[in-house]
Each structure stands twice: as C-alpha cells, then as structure tokens.
Amino acid sequence: MTVPIGRRERKKAATRKKIADTALRLFLERGYEAVGIRDVAAEADVAVTTLFSHFAAKEALVFERDDDFERCLTRAVTGRAPHEPLVPALHREVQSLVRHCTADSALPVRRLIDGSPALREYEESMRLRHAESLAAAIAGDPGLSKGTTANRTIARFVIDAYSLAREASDPDAALDEIFRMIEAAWAVARTPADTTGTAGP
C-alpha cells in the first residue's frame, strides 16, 4: 500500500542505472563520440533495444538527472513562501543550480558535454522545455498574473541566466548582474488587462 515497490520495478530501475553508469564511465574514459551505442549495450550486458527502451537517445545517457533541474525550478516558484516575490526566489534557485554544476565534482561531465556539439545542442533543447514548464508554473501562481507573454518571457530569461552564468568567468557575479536585468524586466511587464501604452491620465 505505502510504497510497494515490487521486484519488477526494482529490476527495471537497476537495469536503467546500470546502463547509465556504464555509459558515463565509458564516455569519460574514451570520449563521447568514440563510444558507440553498441559498445555501451555490450558493456552493460543488455540488448541495444533494451537500452533504447530506457533512454530516448544517446545524448540522454548523459543527462540522467535532468528532470531534477526542471523540478527545482518549478518548485522554486510553486513552493516559495507566501507573498515572497518571484524573481529573488528564482535568483536563489538558479544560483544554487549554477553552483552545483560549476562545482569541481561536476567538472569532468561538464567537459564531456562542452566537448561534444551533439551534447551541447541536446542540452539547449532541453532548456527550452524547461522554460516552458517554468512559464507554466508562473502562470499557475494566482499571486502574480502578468499575462502569458510576460510569463513566457521571464521564464526564457531565467533559463538564459543559467546558461550564461555557467559560461562566465565569474558565475556568481554574472548571475547577479543578469538577475538585476531580469528584475527590471519583470517590473515593467504589464498585466493582462493593461492594454494601454505607457501613458497615464
């Protein structure tokens, strides 16, 4: 009843993990492009079709923990203290995410990704999906209603902040600056009913 995880799901998870671990190890050892899907499958002792039943593409083998990213972001919106303003909450969360991925322990994987165009491209297209769900989370917050365009725009800007800060020489400083810009942008985003220009009576 509680969490009756049966043998079946446990085995499935184990297989998935074994594939991911094996793949990452091989990629780090020999380089991403130098390792074929068939190599990974053989080393993990599974069939190629099994591998693809767990992972949608070769690139996905590297981004195992990536729904985490999405969850962290949306939770920063939906789970923040009542009346806490949106942008600072996102700032904190993105800061934590950037620090997490610029940490020394994550360096080998980062180098792996940066070294392969295919992986970089894949990552960017993931970010777009993340931006969409972030926009949805913002849209779902009754406290702040600024209109669809404003929500989606801010969501994109936040994702940009993550990706730009990561590449900067001083990620923390860059992130501060970008979020100052985002704060200003959010401040002037208009509410749905406000269809007038900038003029007042």
H helices then E strands: how many in the chain?
A: 9, 0
Contacting residues for 155 by C-beta, under 8 A, at least 6 apart: 131, 132, 134, 135, 138
- The whole-angstrom separation of Cα 177 and Cα 72 is 22
Does 52 contact DNA by CB under 7 A? yes
Cα 87 to Cα 61, 94, 139, 158, 161: the distances in Å are 32, 10, 14, 9, 12
110 vs 37: CA distance, rounded Å: 21
Q: Which does 190 bind (CB under 5 to 8 A by kind): DNA, its own copies, none?
A: its own copies
- Measured from the CB atom, the residue of 48 and 128 that comes closer to DNA is 48
Would you say 32 and 116 are in contact if contact means Cβ atoms under 8 Å apart?
yes
Per CB under 7 A, the list member of 20, 26, 59, 127 interacting with DNA is 59
Residue 2 in the binding site for DNA (CB under 7 A): no
47 sits near DNA (criterion: CB under 7 A): yes
Supply the minimum distance, in Å, between the C-beta of residue 128 and DNA: 18
Q: Which does 139 bind (CB under 5 to 8 A by kind): DNA, its own copies, none?
A: none
Q: How far apart are CA 19 and CA 24, in angstroms?
A: 9
59 binds, among its own copies, DNA, none (CB under 5 to 8 A by kind): DNA
Quote the least distance from Cβ 117 to DNA, whole Å: 10
Note whether 27 binds DNA by CB under 7 A.
no
Interacting residues toward its own copies by CB under 8 A: 121, 124-125, 128, 147-150, 152-154, 156-157, 160-161, 164, 168, 173-174, 177-178, 180-190, 198
